[in-house]
Amino acid sequence: MNDRELIAHIARSAGSKAGYKQLVRELGLGGGRERRLLREQLGKITSRGELTQLVRDMWSIPKSLSAGGTRDNLIAGRLDLHRDGYGFVRPNARQSVGQSDDVFVPPDEINGAMQGDQVLVELAPPRGDGRRLGRIARVLERRNATIVGTFHYAKGRTQGNYVVPFDERMTQPILIPHGDEVAPAAEIATPHRVIGEEARKAPHHDSLEGLIVDVEVTAWPTPTRPPVGRVVEVLGHPDDFGVDVEMMIRKHQLPRVFPAGVLAEARRVAHLDRAEVDRRRDFRGLPIVTIDGETARDFDDAVLVEERRDGGYELQVHIADVAEYVRPGMDLDLEARLRGTSVYFPDRAIPMLPQELSSDICSLRPEEDRLVLSCLMQLDAQGNIESYEICEGVIASAARMTYTKVHMILEGDEEMRAQYPELTGDFELMQKLAMLMNRRREERGSIDFDLPEPVIQFDENGQMRGVTRAERTWANRLIEEFMLAANECVATWLEDLGVPSLYRIHEKPDPRRVVQFEELATSFGYTLGLGTLPVKRIQTRGDRRDAQRSGKKARTHEVPEDIAVTPKMYQRLAKRIEGKPEERIVSYLMLRSLRQARYAENNEGHFALAAPTYTHFTSPIRRYPDLIVHRITKALLRADIRGRGAVAKGRMDSPWTHPHEGFAGLTLSRRKPAAAGSYAGEAPIPEAELAQIADETSQTERRAAEAERELVEWKKVRFMQDRVGEEFEGLVLNPTKYGMFVELTDLFVEGLVPIDTLRDDRYTFRENTHEIVGERSGRKFRAGDRVHVILDRILAQERRLQFSIAEEGIPLTGKGKRKPPKKAKKPRRDEPRSNPSKVRNRSGRGKRR
């Protein structure tokens, strides 16, 4: 039963409401799996606001919202808390509350909700700046069945011990009643529980002091009572090898163990069907190669470029045909949908699919026959796509190449060229075509934020030894260009057919955020070139009431309306700041002004790529939306729908047009597809189901990205904990009213210099110029300044580093020359450290897994 049918079934029930047991009985559901899926389905429909959860096991159809009612002014969304107690509710993708994408909730209106919960928020009248206020009316779905944190034994307390959550946004400790410190051994001894060595050796619960534990919440918090829980898993000491990854997995509720049924199903389907191989177009024998990172194990894309006689090019992109093995309704499919995406940590990965598929039968390993979905593109001599063909094929990759090897070949390394003499010319042709395609994208306004990404380096024992910037060469970029082209061609084909599908959309920036960025950019001497900003003037009810009482004129607020911003504006600014000291901070601010890309069943275009139509097709091993697009593609091809299409001139140009300078509005040019609605058959996947998948996968993608980013920040902080008191070269990234963020030059590590630690003067932050200035000396700190800092403190719980400016060698803005760095004296082994609490605990470390 799909979502629409389930909602209709509840609507037909008495009072338009139904209980869980009632639904199980009326729908004739059998075992635990079907009932679990029903609960998940109800929760997802509720999170979209299409059902209301009355009590724990009762759902109803929401009443129509009346314009005049206050209790009916409700909206569902995800709660994001701040460590200071307040929070923001991010409305679910299909709801809108006006100009702002979030609703501010004061600390006294949280009403027992926790970080990440799906909540129903009651909206209050908007503030003068347009931001909406609200209170949590009800928790719809709890997202933290377990919480990871640090165990503390509370001597003398009658209520028991407590756990401080690792997530600093959860400000309340979790009470652990006496006797619930360690779960029974029988409960722990399952494939889903891994008990740390420290816990095995601990005879009493007081020896768990300071260890990382996972806690099951047994009683949710209320406005007057903290949450209560019991320890179900002991991970070990924070410094134990691998504990940091386990913490992130549990904090973000990442599925980490494949059920036995899923593994058995993977083993059963992981074989090559020779009859299927014979049925497909044969690309074996061609010099098709995969190009991936050094440590990659799943190769889901392979490429080939050939020159045509007329001076044009043929680009072949072959993608692993995962949909041939993972069919709808299989346990494999349900597990892949639950995970949504693979998660990549510095030293391990949590795959979306079991190893039998991801690293074996679906991986395009060299010289092994593999099933693929292929996109064959014809391009002219200038790199414009003229036509494309999508088909089912079979390949045998000629070589497994890495970015490093290809880069060395392109840079002229004789030894590497001698190792691959037959492929050297192919890679040079790939680079030539990729550069042409990149130029075409730039011409239409595609934005390329070349922000550095951190790479964690490990020694031979698996211990972290440093952080460096990821190198992005033409070996990386040519694959990026080819994958972008394949994604656009497939999306264009599906849209032209009029078939419901998934799209990767990136909406136009919110006007309020554009205005905020423009104000900040002006302080650096830059602008997007927006011209006069259109605004509307509003008066709030409170302003009018205050005016009536005082007899004065009511205050008027200016709120930005729709702004004529285009991708080319961002692109031009990105080029102007390239190589400048302030490049990092202005690029970061630009990125913040944009919306997050997401999946949707309706095409809205991709702003950052300046693409009218875009989808994700090229990574089905790692991303569930790509697998869905493969299913739709295969269903159409097997229904004898032609996979060919011609690209008319301008078809792939930017949909965001700016007709002439000074234009006050933006034209979103939605070009009519060449063969709109030409497919008359039944949709392979109903649009309602696609909408649900789009919401789910957008959420799982953000969950994975947050876990990956947070682990890198955690590792950076732990890496620096033995370096308190040392001096470093740094670059000021972002001055703020409470201090300046500094990035260490050689370590790619960031930290804060609090403004109150600048002792030689009284410093204030000037918002209009975006700089910190000393009142007497006039000393200035701006983004891009080189400074010399000392690491003062490690704030491990907040995952932050705190620095202070070294008094020797402070470079004044535009003046002075830094003195040579003064190295801190390191203690001998027999000397005590100045801060013994910062000494790293090295016990329990093992080798790399």
Q: Are strands 385-396 and 800-805 parallel, antiparallel or unpaired?
A: unpaired
What's the confidence (pLDDT) of residue 71? Answer: 45
Is there a contact between 315 and 303 (Cβ–Cβ < 8 Å)? yes
Is there a contact between 438 and 480 (Cβ–Cβ < 8 Å)? no
**Separation CA 676–CA 132 (nearest Å):** 40
Which residues lie closer than 8 Å to 802 by C-beta, 6 or more apart?
A: 751, 752, 753, 754, 791, 792, 793, 794, 795
What's the confidence (pLDDT) of residue 809? Answer: 45
What's the confidence (pLDDT) of residue 536? Answer: 64
What's the confidence (pLDDT) of residue 829? Answer: 34
**Separation CA 626–CA 615 (nearest Å):** 8
* Beta-ladder partners of 151: 163
Tokens 């377990």, residue? 146
Which residues lie closer than 8 Å to 563 by C-beta, 6 or more apart?
A: 509, 511, 514, 515, 530, 533, 534, 666
Count CA atoms within 13 Å of residue 253 on its CB side. 18
Burial class (CB in 10 A: 0-12, 13-18, 19+), 85: middle
Is there a contact between 172 and 223 (Cβ–Cβ < 8 Å)? no
What's the confidence (pLDDT) of residue 846? Answer: 36
Tokens 């163990």, residue? 257
Tokens linked to 815: 């003046």
Which residues lie closer than 8 Å to 400 by C-beta, 6 or more apart?
A: 289, 290, 292, 299, 365, 366
pLDDT per residue over 578-634, tens digit each? 888 778 888 888 998 999 999 999 999 999 999 999 999 999 999 999 999 999 999
What's the confidence (pLDDT) of residue 559? Answer: 60
What's the confidence (pLDDT) of residue 325? Answer: 97
Which residues lie closer than 8 Å to 353 by C-beta, 6 or more apart?
A: 266, 322, 326, 332, 336, 362, 621
Closest CA to 724 of 825, 617, 578, 812: 825
0.85 surpassed by pTM: no
788-819: b (≥16 Cβ within 10 Å) or e: bbbbebbeeeebbbbbebbeebbbeeeeeeee
DSSP string, 231-248: EEEEEE-TTSTTHHHHHH
In a 3-state reduction of DSSP, which class is residue 71? coil
Helices 474-497 and 424-444: angle between axes, nearest 10 degrees: 60
DSSP string, 760-790: TS-EEEETTTTEEEETTT--EEETT-EEEEE
Which parts of the chain have pLDDT scores under 70?
31-32, 47-49, 55-56, 63-72, 93-101, 126-131, 156-159, 183-206, 532-549, 555-562, 657-677, 797, 808-849
Burial class (CB in 10 A: 0-12, 13-18, 19+), 190: exposed
Tokens 């069943």, residue? 601
What's the confidence (pLDDT) of residue 357? Answer: 96
**Separation CA 92–CA 105 (nearest Å):** 16
